[in-house]
Structure 1
Amino acid sequence: MAEYILEVRHLKKNFISGKKSFTAVEDVSFFLKQGECLGIVGESGSGKSTVAKMITHLTELTGGEIFLLGKNITQVKGKELRETYREIQMVFQTPGESFDPRCTLGDGIGESLRNMGISKKETRKRVENLLIKYGLSADYADRYPHQVSGGECQRAAIARALAVEPKILICDEATSALDVTVQKQIMELLMKLKKEKNLAFIFICHDLALVQMFCDRVIVMHDGHVEEEGTPEEIIERPKTEYTERLIESVL
């Protein structure tokens, strides 16, 4: 059995704009253990979301390797990529935009189940059970994204991500667009999932109080590279670099 559920080695991403090229991510390496929560923090433009998109193959790598359960998934496509999505799912910052506005929430949540060959009737049953499990009523399956609140839509997004029972959930600023009360409810839901399902998380967030509460380890990113790594207490209370110190001062 692989020592790490996920390992990324020397990730690199260059973007080309016109005739210019710039490096968004440079030599980023880290690992994730089963049931562990890894926080990734850093100011806007530090490369946090780009790393998440490379892991989930939403952005093509310029360099580096990604290993899932010991298997190299760097270049997977087609059927192998679909199998990868059964193990890794992502929850985005703006849940309303992650759903197709022309489809109901139930259609969005059930898509991955239908792709697995599950019947329409069974998919509907599972979708309704997922909605109830994650704090909504079954009739939300027939509602459209614009008909629900941000918090309700984020719950539906979490239900969609967990429909295939992945081993890793990536949360990319999943609470930042929500008001404080709803943010608290979503965090309570994520903490419950971590405990009950032994899920591994990559938790990208700018709120260090949430990171300190939820994460086991933290990576600080700056200009596309890893500035430092440690436990939340080490990073927040005993930062090693001037950049991390400034980052903490700016948000606390």
Structure 2
Amino acid sequence: MYKTNEKAHVRISAEHVGFHAGGTDILQDITLQIRKGELVGLIGPNGCGKTTLLKNLYRVYQPSRGAVYLDGKEMKNMSTRTVARQLAVLAQEHNTGFDFPVIEIVLMGRYAHKQLLESNNDNDLDICEKALSLVGMLELKNRSFLSLSGGEKQRVLLAAAFAQEAGIIILDEPTNHLDIGYQLLIMDIIKERKDTTVLASIHDLNIAAHYCDRLIAMNHGEIIAAGSPEEVLTVPLMRDLFRVHTRIEKAKGKLNIFFVGAVESET
């Protein structure tokens, strides 16, 4: 699967993954590798298969074809607890129907490190409070989770992912619902975690350009481009993938994408 000298550096990978549902091939022959310490952005238009791919990577879905590997081991053969010690997830859907204090939501991120029926201890609480402090939510630790705004909930759930202390984090639109200041704060926090491997679906292309080491572009369930932001975020790709005219400039080593207008529909 890997060259010998590459295997140790790959944390999570997909090999020829396909996913079929509702009579449709949603993913088609997806192969990718995410290496240790990388921040990789997954981009593409709505409905291109980004969330479905992430769900195949963190085992909500089982690939119809191919396989997903975690540190070189096929993930379907690993226990849920073993996976959770290495892989944390912040999904788009927040199905927390019960009302808990914020601190209890974050403490749930510690479950992978506990034995059955083992209680949380002072160390767990300290880890969770530090995670809440990182995302600016410590003062609200005793608030009801369901009383929070969408952006506040997003920050609490990110704190829970941090509290899990996994070496890999998969994020599906991590800045969704956040004001621009918190978008940049969250991405700064993620970027600073040098020992953490991150794969994130990102809607904002300028955020993807500024923060990601590599980008993977998808359309119609396939990977159509992969590489550095400079290699992927080109005027032709923006036109073909997102149907927009753009001007792309580089300042202080970072790409800046200016949207000029929509591509006229062909008739």
TM-score range, shorter chain: 0.7 to 0.9
- Which 10-residue stretch deviates more, 178-187 or 43-52? 178-187
Q: Is the 8 A contact 1:93 1:177 kept in 2?
A: no
Amino acid at match of 2:81: R
Q: Is the 8 A contact 2:151 2:176 kept in 1?
A: no
Partner in structure 2 of residue 184 of structure 1: 184
Structure 1: distance between partners of 2:9 and 2:186: 30
Partner in structure 2 of residue 63 of structure 1: 65
Partner in structure 1 of residue 265 of structure 2: none
Partner in structure 2 of residue 132 of structure 1: 133
- Which 10-residue stretch deviates more, 105-114 or 218-227? 105-114
Partner in structure 1 of residue 205 of structure 2: 208
Larger CA Rg, structure 1 vs 2: 2
Q: Quickly say closer, same or farther: Cα 1:240–1:210, change in 2 above 3 A.
A: closer
Q: Is the 8 A contact 1:9 1:30 kept in 2?
A: yes
Gaps in structure 1 of 5+ consecutive residues? none
Instruction: State the shift of 1:248 in Å.
Output: 6.9
The count of corresponding residues between Structure 1 and Structure 2 is 239
Partner in structure 1 of residue 13 of structure 2: 7
- Which 10-residue stretch deviates more, 154-163 or 183-192? 183-192
Q: How does 1:215-234 map to 2 (within 5 A)?
A: 215-234=212-231
Structure 2: distance between partners of 1:219 and 1:167: 20
Structure 2: distance between partners of 1:111 and 1:239: 44
Partner in structure 1 of residue 169 of structure 2: 169
Gaps in structure 2 of 5+ consecutive residues? 1-6, 247-256, 260-267
Task: State yes or no: 1:88 paired with 2:87.
Answer: yes
TM-score, normalisation: structure 1: 0.84
Instruction: State the shift of 1:110 in Å.
Output: 1.2
Q: 1:33 aligns with which of 32, 35, 46?
A: 35
Instruction: State the shift of 1:215 in Å.
Output: 1.0
Instruction: State the shift of 1:50 in Å.
Output: 0.5
Judging by fraction of residues, say which structure has more helix.
1
Instruction: State the shift of 1:29 in Å.
Output: 0.6
Q: Is the 8 A contact 2:39 2:191 kept in 1?
A: no
Instruction: State the shift of 1:104 in Å.
Output: 2.1
* Percent of residue pairs identical: 25
Structure 1: distance between partners of 2:101 and 2:258: 37
Amino acid at match of 2:130: N
**3-state secondary structure, aligned to 1:143:** coil
Q: Runs ≥4 in structure 1, deviation > 6 angstroms?
A: none
Higher relative contact order, chain-length normalized (CA < 8 Å, sep 6+): 1
Partner in structure 2 of residue 120 of structure 1: 120
What root-mean-square deviation, in Å, do the aligned CA atoms of Structure 1 and Structure 2 show? 2.5
Judging by fraction of residues, say which structure has more strand.
2
Q: Quickly say closer, same or farther: Cα 1:248–1:163, change in 2 above 3 A.
A: farther
**3-state secondary structure, aligned to 2:53:** helix
Instruction: State the shift of 1:245 in Å.
Output: 7.3
